[in-house]
Structure 1
Amino acid sequence: MDAAVRRAVGAVVDPELRRPLAELDMVRAVVVDGDVARVGIALTIVGCPAADRIERDVRAAAASVAGIAEVVVEVGVMTPAERHALTERLRGGRAARVMPFGPDALTRVIAVTSGKGGVGKSTLTANLAVALCARGLAVGLVDADVHGFSIPALLGLVGPDGRPPAPTRIDDLMLPPVAYGVKAISIGMFLPPSEAGRPASGAVAWRGPMLHRTVQQFLTDVFFGDLDVLLIDMPPGTGDIAISVGQLLPHAEVLVVTTPQTAASDVAVRSGLVAAQTGQRVIGVVENMAAMVLPDGTTLDLFGSGGGAAVAAALSTDAAPVPLLASVPLSVALREGGDAGVPVVVGAPGDAAAQAIEHVAASLAATPRGLSGRPLPFTPA
C-alpha cells in the first residue's frame, strides 16, 4: 500500500516546474496505517506560491488509491543542498548562466518585430503564443519590449493588486509565470509596487548596457524547461535591444508585423533588413489592422491596403522568398480580449482576427526549423 500511494503522489506535477514530484525528489516519507496515508513532501522554497495547489493535488492523488480513506500531508522545505542538486538537475549539466537557446538547441526561436510602435505586435505575439500552445507545443515568451512591456496584461498575468506575479526563485533560477500554458517573462514582473499597488510609475528608463543585461538574463537565468518554440516580443524599431538579440541569437527567425498603411510598412522593412544583417532569417510578414467586414457586408479599410504584401516583397529575394502569412482584420474582440487579458484565440475563436492568427500559428507549426549552421548529431561510418 505504501508503494501505491508513493507512486500516485510521485506522479503529481509541480505546476511551476511542470515535472512530476518524484522526478524532482519532492516526496518524503509515505506511511500507510490502516486506511490513513501520511505523506511528506518538500517544497522548493519557503513561501512557494504553488504550495496550496501542490498540497491539494497530493492529497487528491493519495486519496485516489483504493483503501485510503484519510490523507495527512506534512509539508516541509528542501535543504540548501537539495535545492542545489535540483537546480543542477534542471539545467541538465549546463553551467549556470549559460544560454540554452544556442544554434544547436532544439528550441525554435522566433523574434516578432516591427518598425513602428502601435501596430499590435505584442497583441499578435501573445495570441500567437497561446495558439501554438493549443497545438500541443511547449511555448515560452520573452517580453523584450522593456520600455513598453505589455505581455503580462495581454495574457491576464495580473493579480488583484494590479501587478503581474513575480517569478519564483530557486537559488539562481527563475521560474516564469504560466498563462494559457505559455511560460512568460517580462520586466513588468520585477518592478516594485507603488502606494497604489501598481508598478512604480510603470516606466523603465534604461540605456543600452542595462537593456542588454536584462535580455541576457531573461535568456539565461529563467528556467523555461524544454521548449518547442520561444517567442520574443521585440520593441519597435532597430535600437539597442534589436542589436542585442541579434548578437545573442543570430540564428533566430524573424516575423515582421506591420499595418497596411505605407507609413508603417516602409519602416517595417527596415526592421527586417536589420535582422537579416545579423544573420537572422525573416520567415514571414503579418499584416495587422487590415480591412474589416462591417455588419452590413461592406468593408472598412481604415489604414488602407497592401502594406503587408509590400513588406513581404521588399524583404524577399530569389533565394529566400518571404511570404505574407496573414492579414489580421480590425477586430473589436481582439481589442477587448487584450484589455481583459483573454487572448482572442481563446475568448472568441470564431472571430475573423482569431482565425487569421490561427492560420499564422498553423503555418509556423507546419514549418520545421531550418538546419542551416546547426551541428547534427551523427558521425561518419
Structure 2
Amino acid sequence: MGVQRRKIGDREVYPVGLGCMNICHAYGPPLPEDEAKALLTRSLDLGYDFLDTATIYGVGRSEELIGEALGHRRQEYFLASKCVLDVRDGERVLDGRPEAIKAACEASLKRLKTDVIDLYYLHRPDPNVPIEDSVGALADLVSEGKIRFAGLSEMGAEDLRRGAAVHPIAAMQSEYSLWVRNPEIAVMQACEELGTALVAFSPVGRGFLADPPADPANFHETDMRVRAFPRFRPEYYSGNLPLLAEAKAMAEEAGCSVAQLAIAWTLAKGPNVLPIPGTTNLKHLEENHRAAEVTLTPEQVARLDAHFAPERAVGPRYNRIGQATVTTEMYDFEKANG
C-alpha cells in the first residue's frame, strides 16, 4: 500500500517533511555550502517533497541555498517559508505590518528563485499588529499569486481562529514532540475544526529524542540550545534523561531508532499532523524519511503518552525571551513554575 500522503490545503505531500533551519544556524556552525546543497539534493532524491524554511534561518541563507540547489527542480517539492521574525542591524525583530510582510515575501521569492511560495507563515505574532491585519496581508499575497496558502507559527488557538476568520489557514506550525505536548491543550482541536494541518517542528526534541541523545557537553559554542532552551542546561538536562529509557525500549520493540519512534509518534497523533525534522547528517536524513514507514499500535502510543506526560519534562520549554514571543498555550504547571 505504501506510505499515505497528507494534505496541506488541497496539496498532498509525503508525511515527513524537511526542516531547513539547522543547515545554516542554530545548532552550531552552518554546513559548508557544498554539503548543504548535497543534503538538499539528496532529500528530493529520497522522496522528501515538503521543505520548510524561513527568512530568519541563516538570515536568508537557508532560502538562498534552496533556490541555488533546487531551483531547477522547483516542481518536485512543496515549499514553505516564513516572515515577521527577522534580523535587522544584528537584532531580532518582529514586524507583522502588512507592508513589511509583502516586502519580506518579495525578498524571499528572489532568494528562493521561484515565482510562488506554496505555504507562507507568520513566523511569530507581532504584539503591535492585530493578527487580522497580518493575515490580511497573506490573503493579498494569495490573491496576487505570490503564495498559495497562508500559515501561522507558534500561536495559540485564539490567534488561529481570529486569523482563520480573515482567510483560511492551511497550516499551523508548532513545536510538538513526546517532549513538548503543548499543542494538545487547544491548538490541535482548533486545527481539526478548521481543516488546518499541524506542522510539527522539532519532533525529535531538538536532538534529545535520539540515540544517543544530544549531549550539551558536546555542543559547539555557537549552539543556541543551552542559551534558548533551558531543558538542555545542566540543572535540568540530567533530570530529563530517565525519560529516554522507555523510548529506547519502545524503539527496540517497534524495530526502529529512537528518532524514528519520536517521528512515528507524531504521525500517529492524527492524519493532519506533519512532522518536519531537520538534520545536517545524510544518514539521519534517510532515517527520518523512513520513519513514515513505522507504524505504532494504539497501545504503544498510549504508553508513550503516559510515559512522556507533559509534567514529567524537567525545565521550561523556552527561556523568558523566547516564551514572550509565542502565544502557544501553556500548561498550568508551566505557568506556576514560570
Superposition TM-score tier, normalisation by shorter sequence: 0.3 to 0.5
* Structure holding more strand per residue: 1
Instruction: Give the structure, 1 or 2, with the largest relative contact order (CA under 8 Å, sep 6 or more).
Output: 2
TM-score by length of 1: 0.33
TM-score by length of 2: 0.36
